[in-house]
Amino acid sequence: MARTIDLHVHSTASDGILSPADVVAQAAAHGVWLLAIADHDTTDGIREARAAAAAAEITLIPGVELSEGAEEHEIHVLGYFIDLDHQPFQAVLRTLRGARDLRNERIVARLRELGAPIDLERVKEIAGAGSVGRPHLAQALIEAGHCASMGEAFGRYLARGKPGYVGRERLGPAEAAQAIRQAGGIPVLAHPGKLGQRRRIEAIVDTGMEGVEAFHSDHVEKDVELILDIAKARNLLVTGGTDSHGPHPERPIEIGSLDIPDWVGEQFLSRAPLGWAESR
């Protein structure tokens, strides 16, 4: 079996399908020797994964993924080698998670005022193990008979600028990068291929990123080339991962299924903060 790496995997600690221990088991089954669990706004899965990773002889890197910007133009920032005990960083993560819950509560309250009441508990059921988003709210609006379709739910209520739209407090990329650095981590711009033009990617990188995720399941070859080129010009760390959420119905991507060159893992580990291996 070919040995590979995967530096971007989600678990049930955020919106993945597999528990952290099952993530490690899948990684081991696919020949992954270097693994990072990078859940959205939480590092809670990492401790659970550690014992399993040690038993499977997988090097587990503590990671996290922060998102910012309006949903349509989201920028995601990965943080690697985070100190899990860094209390200010954990406080930032709690705020981000709280902001998401609060936003859903505010949308439901607003829909009630607009004469389209839905039950937040039902919305959570629809979302299942994942975090609640507007498509789940739209589904609840349809179920409750307020709208006939997803399009109508967004067009009348949930789209930006419509009466049921509530924005979310988030960090900007510079703040995200700074928070990660303060917790001893390395900030890396996630899947930049989704951000479009070279100049936009460079502008975001220059807010304080130390790396770029060149290899990602959604990147085509020209994305990889562009990002490697940017990384070379700026001496950035290059990372790669599947962004697997496990056997997710909409996006079933296997852990370790991406073809990432060997030098990526070697270079990545060589940039580990001093003393990192000892403190694990």
Binding site for Zn ion (CB under 5 A): 65, 76, 190, 243
Nearer to Zn ion, 210 or 243 (CB): 243
Alpha-carbon distance 212 to 189, whole Å?
5
Alpha-carbon distance 142 to 60, whole Å?
42
The CB-of-77 to Zn ion minimum distance in angstroms stands at 9
Nearer to Zn ion, 8 or 146 (CB): 8
Closest residue by beta carbon to Zn ion: 76
The CB-of-277 to Zn ion minimum distance in angstroms stands at 25
Nearer to Zn ion, 164 or 256 (CB): 256
The CB-of-128 to Zn ion minimum distance in angstroms stands at 18
Q: Where are the beta strands (DSSP E) in the chain?
A: 4-9, 32-37, 59-68, 75-80, 186-189, 211-216, 237-241
The CB-of-144 to Zn ion minimum distance in angstroms stands at 31
Nearer to Zn ion, 223 or 243 (CB): 243
b or e along 218-247 (b: 16 or more beta carbons within 10 Å of the residue's beta carbon)? ebeeebbebbbebbeeeebbbbbbbbbbbe
Within 10 Å of residue 185's Cβ, how many Cβ atoms? 24
The CB-of-161 to Zn ion minimum distance in angstroms stands at 25
For 184-208, what is the HEC assignment?
Answer: CCEEEECCHHHHCCHHHHHHHHCCC
